Amino acid sequence: MTVADDFGSKPEQATALASANEKLGKGQRVNAMQTLKLANVKIAYTMALVPLKQTITNVDEAAHLIASDKYYQADQKLKSVQDSERFDWLQLTATPATAASAPAAASSAGHS
């Protein structure tokens, strides 16, 4: 998660960011997002994606190769996992939903 705003001229957003960082440090992700949402802070999410079944298979095979002292082959299996990693990102403006848009957002979220 990355903040996509410049806080030099927005002290209320800088305060919200400090509060959100504190909440994230305590594992309170939902509360941190709510804090940023109320302060109208733009957020970018970056996700690392891998094909799950193939990754599990390759890691298991690498573990067996290591147990058999086949370190080079294990390294190659783990490299294939690393090479399959892809990154995707999404930028959001965390603005509070208005009463009129909340039901529409909730109904469209179920159809994604």
Position 108 in a domain: no
Q: Is the pTM of this model over 0.75?
A: no
Q: Which residues share a beta bridge with 3?
A: 43
Position 70 in a domain: yes
Q: Tell whether the model's pLDDT for residue 97 goes beyond 60.
A: no
Position 112 in a domain: no
The label of the residue with tokens 């190659």 reads 76
Q: For the stretch 29-48, what's the b/e string if a residue is b when 16 or more beta carbons lie within 10 angstroms of its beta carbon?
A: eeebbbbbbebebbbeeeee
Position 109 in a domain: no
Position 107 in a domain: no
Phi, psi of 4 (to 5 degrees): -105, 20
User: Mind listing the pLDDT tens digit for each residue in 3-36?
Assistant: 666 655 577 777 888 888 888 888 888 888 788 7
Look up the domain containing 11 and give its range.
Answer: 2-100
Q: How many alpha carbons fall within 13 Å on the CB side of residue 108?
A: 5
**Number of folded domains in the chain?**
1
